């Protein structure tokens, strides 16, 4: 048994407390990673609050982990002790279902989320199946890389999956933790990039992240002006939107792609899907290969999330900052266990 120091929540909306747990012997295909940084994602809040009815307390949040391999089981492949790796939403998957064998491990029905029934990265060490411990390129800045592993892959993966071309026009709705990375990725991909935001104050910053145009998502006339202009619109917000208005911004064959977990059902007018042959879809994070491709792409194009740092010992302050909607644009905790 190995003791691991962590931060945990014991119930919905409860403050995180110091927590020590006994980790069983390392499994043959697992690595143990010494956490250096861990991003704070909105899904950590959702899990702490049990918004999705799947939380198991005490919960150790943290699923944007960056650190170094300190221990490896006997069947671990391709990773060395001391190697820099990242772990995102998933820490494991079955490795034998059609999805895993087909390379879509993130769609595995028995994937192991890093923070549900498994202790996450608000800790001195975290464990993952070696396939899900993604090597970090040497020239990627470790202090800001964390948010790429959940937020970053979530907005990058649709560009890969739907084979978006640099000649196409991509919209990003919601300029927050996910959206600001979406603007950077879509711009580096070569696309013409349109930011949709309800907050006028973010327009200038959206341009600095890579938006060629900024449109107010609250202004119906502005949305109508964008009619039939986008190949894909990636929606990162988790609030109800003017879905019919947003659908109209798509060209024929266009796609409205949802990555923000809106709780309310989305009213979608069928007639707008039929005429114009439009699609509505969603996706969860990305596969290990998509994660590795995203990290290489980020390193090559010098893409880093805009982050604010807190020591992990001030995790409750950091959570409050995120809860209050003040994060610009992602929060990263630096592990500071004694
Ligand atoms: Zn599987
Ligand atoms: Zn996340």
Same domain, 136 and 157: no
171 Cα: distance to centroid of ligand 1 (angstroms): 32
Same domain, 208 and 314: no
Same domain, 26 and 71: yes
Same domain, 144 and 292: yes
Ligand nearest to the CA of 236: 2
| Parallel, antiparallel or unpaired: strands 307-311 and 112-113 | unpaired
- State yes or no: pLDDT of 220 exceeds 90: no
- Please state the pTM of the whole predicted model: 0.96
Answer with the one of 262, 282, 302 that is the final residue of a domain: 282
CA angle 87, 107, 280 (to 5 degrees): 115
272 Cα: distance to centroid of ligand 2 (angstroms): 31
With cut-offs at 50, 70 and 90, classify the pLDDT of residue 235.
very high
Element housing 333 (H / E): strand 330-334
Answer with the one of 282, 307, 324 that is the final residue of a domain: 282
Same domain, 139 and 35: yes
pLDDT recorded at residue 166: 98
pLDDT recorded at residue 71: 98
Mean pLDDT in residue range 172-178: 95
With cut-offs at 50, 70 and 90, classify the pLDDT of residue 101.
very high
**CATH assignment of the domain containing 208:** 3.40.50.720
| Parallel, antiparallel or unpaired: strands 2-8 and 90-92 | unpaired
Please state the domain count of the chain: 2
| Tokens (6 digits) for 270 | 């069928």
Same domain, 253 and 170: yes
CA atoms of 13 and 20, how far apart (whole Å): 20
Same domain, 158 and 144: no
- State yes or no: pLDDT of 1 exceeds 70: no
Question: Is 304 in a helix, a strand, or coil?
Answer: coil
113 Cα: distance to centroid of ligand 1 (angstroms): 13
Higher pLDDT, 218 or 166: 166
pLDDT recorded at residue 321: 97
CA angle 8, 9, 13 (to 5 degrees): 155
Ligand nearest to the CA of 97: 1
150 Cα: distance to centroid of ligand 2 (angstroms): 5
Question: Is 29 in a helix, a strand, or coil?
Answer: coil
Near ion ligand 1, which residues have CB within 5 Å? 93-94, 97, 100, 108
By residue range, what is the domain housing residue 208?
152-282
**CATH assignment of the domain containing 81:** 3.90.180.10
Higher pLDDT, 200 or 60: 60
pLDDT digits (tens, 9 = 90+) for 250-265: 999 999 999 998 889 9
pLDDT digits (tens, 9 = 90+) for 124-162: 999 999 999 999 999 999 999 999 999 999 999 999 999
Same domain, 167 and 237: yes
> Which are the contacts of 120, defined by CB distance < 8 A and separation ≥ 6?
38, 44, 59, 60, 61, 62, 63, 65, 114, 126
Answer with the one of 282, 301, 324 that is the final residue of a domain: 282
Mean pLDDT in residue range 306-320: 98
With cut-offs at 50, 70 and 90, classify the pLDDT of residue 47.
very high
pLDDT recorded at residue 238: 87
What CA dihedral angle connects 93, 97, 98 and 103, to 10 degrees?
A: 30
Same domain, 142 and 177: no
Using an 8 Å Cβ cutoff, are 235 and 259 in contact?
A: yes
153 Cα: distance to centroid of ligand 2 (angstroms): 10
Ligand nearest to the CA of 150: 2
- State yes or no: pLDDT of 178 exceeds 90: yes
Same domain, 57 and 189: no
Q: Please give the mean pLDDT across all residues of the chain.
A: 96
Cβ neighbours, 10 Å, residue 208 = 11
252 Cα: distance to centroid of ligand 2 (angstroms): 32
Same domain, 233 and 298: no
| Tokens (6 digits) for 133 | 């411990």
- State yes or no: pLDDT of 68 exceeds 80: yes
Mean pLDDT in residue range 22-49: 96
- State yes or no: pLDDT of 53 exceeds 70: yes
Same domain, 253 and 161: yes
| Tokens (6 digits) for 58 | 């005490």
> By 3-state DSSP, what share of the chain in percent is helix, strand and coil, each rounded to 5?
30, 30, 40
């Amino acid at each position: 048994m190995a003791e691991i120091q962590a931060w945990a929540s014991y119930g919905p909306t409860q403050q995180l407390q110091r927590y020590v747990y006994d980790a069983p012997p390392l499994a043959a295909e697992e690595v143990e990673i010494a956490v250096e940084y861990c991003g704070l994602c909105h899904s950590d809040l959702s899990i702490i609050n049990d918004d999705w009815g799947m939380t198991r307390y005490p919960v150790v949040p943290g699923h944007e982990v960056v650190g170094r391999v300190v221990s490896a089981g006997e069947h671990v492949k391709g990773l060395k002790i001391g190697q820099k790796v990242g772990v995102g939403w998933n820490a494991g998957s079955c490795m034998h279902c059609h999805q895993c064998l087909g390379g879509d491990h993130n769609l595995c029905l028995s994937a192991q989320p890093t923070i549900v029934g498994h202790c996450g990265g608000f800790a001195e060490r975290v464990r993952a199946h070696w396939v899900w411990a993604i090597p970090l390129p040497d020239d990627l800045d470790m202090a800001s890389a964390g948010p790429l592993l959940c937020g970053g892959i979530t907005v990058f993966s649709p560009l890969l999956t739907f084979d978006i071309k640099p000649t196409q026009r991509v919209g990003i709705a919601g300029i927050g933790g996910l959206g600001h990375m979406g603007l950077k990725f879509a711009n580096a991909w070569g696309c013409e990039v349109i930011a949709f935001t309800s907050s006028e104050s973010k327009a200038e910053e959206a341009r600095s992240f890579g938006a060629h145009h900024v449109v107010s998502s609250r202004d119906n006339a502005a949305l109508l002006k964008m009619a039939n202009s986008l190949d894909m619109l990636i929606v990162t917000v988790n609030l109800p939107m003017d879905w019919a208005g947003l659908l109209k911004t798509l060209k024929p064959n266009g796609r409205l792609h949802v990555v923000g977990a809106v709780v309310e059902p989305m009213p979608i007018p069928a007639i707008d899907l039929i005429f114009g042959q439009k699609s509505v879809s969603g996706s969860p994070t990305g596969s290990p290969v998509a994660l590795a491709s995203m990290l290489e792409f980020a390193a090559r194009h010098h893409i880093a999330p805009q982050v604010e740092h807190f020591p992990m010992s001030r995790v409750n302050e950091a959570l409050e900052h995120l809860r209050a909607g003040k994060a610009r644009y992602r929060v990263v905790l630096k592990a500071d266990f004694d």
